Amino acid sequence: MSGHGHGHGHGVSAEADRRYLGGALALIVGFMAVEVVIGVIAQSLALISDAGHMLTDAVAIVFALIAMRIAAKPPQGGFTYGLKRAEIISAQVNGITLLLLSAYFIYEGVARLIEPPAVVGAYVVATGLAGIAVNVGATWLLSRANRASLNVEGAYQHILNDLFAFIATTIAGAIIWWTGWARADAIAALVVAGLMLKAGWGLVRDSGRVFMEAAPAGMNPSEIGQQTAALDCVTEVHDLHVWEVTSGYAALSAHILVDPGADCHAVRQAAERMLHDTYGIEHTTLQVDHAAPAVLTIGESQAHCADPHGPTHKAG
Give pLDDT tens digits for 163-217.
888 898 889 889 988 998 888 988 988 988 888 898 889 889 999 999 999 999 8
Mean pLDDT to the nearest integer, 212-232: 94
- pTM for the complete prediction? 0.75
63 and 202 in a single domain? The answer is yes
Q: How confident is the model at residue 294 (pLDDT cuts 50, 70, 90)?
A: low
203 and 60 in a single domain? The answer is yes
Nearest-Å Rg of the Cα atoms of the chain is 26
- The last residue of a domain, from among 186, 211, 236: 211
The number of distinct structural domains making up the chain is 2
Q: Helix 14-42 and helix 45-71: axis angle, to 10°?
A: 160
State the pLDDT at residue 280.
93
Q: Nearest to residue 245, comparing CAs of 220, 209, 292, 270? A: 209
- The last residue of a domain, from among 151, 183, 211: 211
Contact 242, 251 (CB under 8 A): yes
Residue 258 backbone phi and psi in degrees, to 5: -125, 165
41 and 82 in a single domain? The answer is yes
Higher pLDDT, 143 or 266: 266
Mean pLDDT to the nearest integer, 43-66: 78
* Residue 127's CATH number: 1.20.1510.10
What domain range is 260 assigned to?
A: 221-314
Residue 2 backbone phi and psi in degrees, to 5: -120, 150
Q: Is residue 151 part of a domain?
A: yes
